[in-house]
Structures are given as C-alpha cells and as structure tokens.
Amino acid sequence: MSLCQNTSLPANYCPVCQTSGQVFLPLSPFFWETAARHGFDCYEDCEMTPLDTYSCSACGASDRERLYAWWFNEQIRQGRLTSSSRIVHFAPEAAFSAYIQSLRLFTSYKTADLMMEGVDYNLDLMQIALPDASVDCFLCSHVLEHVPSDRVAAKELYRITASGGFGLLMVPIAVGLERTREDPTAVTEADRWKLYGQGDHVRLHAKKDFIDCITSAGFRVQELTWRHFGAKFYKRLGLKPTSTLYIAEK
C-alpha cells in the first residue's frame, strides 16, 4: 500500500500550505476562453489541470504543485532525498519552491531558469551549464513544451543527473493524442494557441512520444497514478483522475 493512502487525510487538503477545508479555485477563464477562441480542441483532454479545482485558495498552489509536494515528501520519508541531496529546480513554481525552502532541510537546493529573475542559475535547458553527474534530483515541470528540442533537453538532464539519481519530469499531455503535435511553421501566438493551447508553447505532447523522449535520453520512467496514491487522495487534493507523475530515473 502507498504511503499516501491515508484515510485520515482531511477533505480539500493542500500539502503545500498544509491546510484543509479551503476551497479549490477554478482555472482562470482567460486560458480556456482564449484557447477556445483560437480553436484549440484538447483542453478537456489534458492529463492534469482540472478546470474547477485548479488552485488552492490559501496559497495559490496549482493541482500539480499539490501532487508534487506530496510526492516530494514521500521521497524524504523513504530516504531517497536527504539533507545532502543536490537538487536543481528548473522554472521553479512559486508555491512549490517556497514550500521546499521552508523545510530548511537541504544544503544544496538550487533554482534555475533561462529568463526568470531571482534564480540561482540562468541557463538554457538545451545546453545546461552544469557538470556531468552533478545533480541527485531535478524538478522540471512544464518546460520541455517551450524549448526548440525536447529530446536535446532530456539528454542534457540525463547528462547532469548522477548515477542513481532521479527527476520529476512533466509536460502538458493530451490524453488520447496519438502523436505529439508539433509544427515548426506555427510561429504566431494565434497559431500556437490553436495547436497547443498556449501562445508560448511549441508542441503538445502525446503520452507515448513523451515517454519515448525520456527513455531515448537514457532514463527509466516510473509512472505514478491514482493507483499509487489512492483514488480518495486524488479527490482530496482536487486532482483529475488521469493525473500522472513521470519520474525519470538514472
């Protein structure tokens, strides 16, 4: 049985701010209205991102941040993450990153992004300026859909990951999409809204192709679904039943 199958966990629980009973807020209408206006056809098919229970009203954590925080704590409880673990958090989500720092556990937790201010490293995911095997755990959520080549970026993540290391590697996935949707001629914001559901994305991943991207880089992939965490747990965190964590292991 998963460590996460806790029948005493209160309803509407947020592991990021560790509060219960609050309301989960819907996704801003801007996103789905703009996508619909441009003719995007996969919004209801997203593997994660529930429209009605997207963010925590107490801390603003998204659905995926809530699941990430619980998984992250699971790694600490199991001893996979310790105070000496070298962690790099790419494109750090505000609530999730603040939560990790609030634990005051890790001596080497670093943040990284190409353009974001206030991070420890400003770097390109396709050419990561870090030494080989220098990271024990990386957190990389919703970044590969922004870079010119997701496969080059995945290989770079593999290169910097130490033997026995692992990472949380996530992208928006459209359930039922047979092939990753990618068109290099789609250069306008309107084109990208129509094809990918967001104006700064350059692809929409299909599950099979995303897993192939990770394994082709050299990683093993572990998929964690409601079967790992428990169906009641998913409901309490306001998650879609299809929500899946992809863990890349070296």
pLDDT tens digit sequence for 94-130: 999 999 999 999 999 999 999 999 999 999 999 999 9
C-alpha distances out from residue 202 to 6, 23, 34, 185, 211, Å:
39, 33, 17, 10, 18
Q: If you write DSSP's letter for every residue of 78-147 in order, what string do you get?
A: TTSS-TT-EEEEES--HHHHHHHHHT---SEEEEEESS-TT-SEE-BTTB--S-TT-EEEEEEES-TTTS
Residue closest to 71 by CA, chosen among 198, 197, 195, 239: 239
What span, in angstroms and rounded, lies between the C-alpha atoms of 242 and 250?
25
pLDDT at residue 114 in the model: 95
Least confident of 9-18, 72-81, 117-126, 239-248: 9-18
pLDDT-based confidence at residue 43 (cuts at 50, 70, 90)? confident
Tell me the HSE value of 212 on the side-chain side, using a 13 A CA sphere: 8
pLDDT tens across 150-208, in order? 999 999 999 999 999 999 999 999 998 999 999 999 999 999 999 999 999 999 999 99
CATH, range 13-249: 3.40.50.150
Q: What residues does each domain of the chain span?
A: 13-249
pLDDT at residue 178 in the model: 95
pLDDT at residue 10 in the model: 61
Task: State which amino acid sits at residue 76.
Answer: I
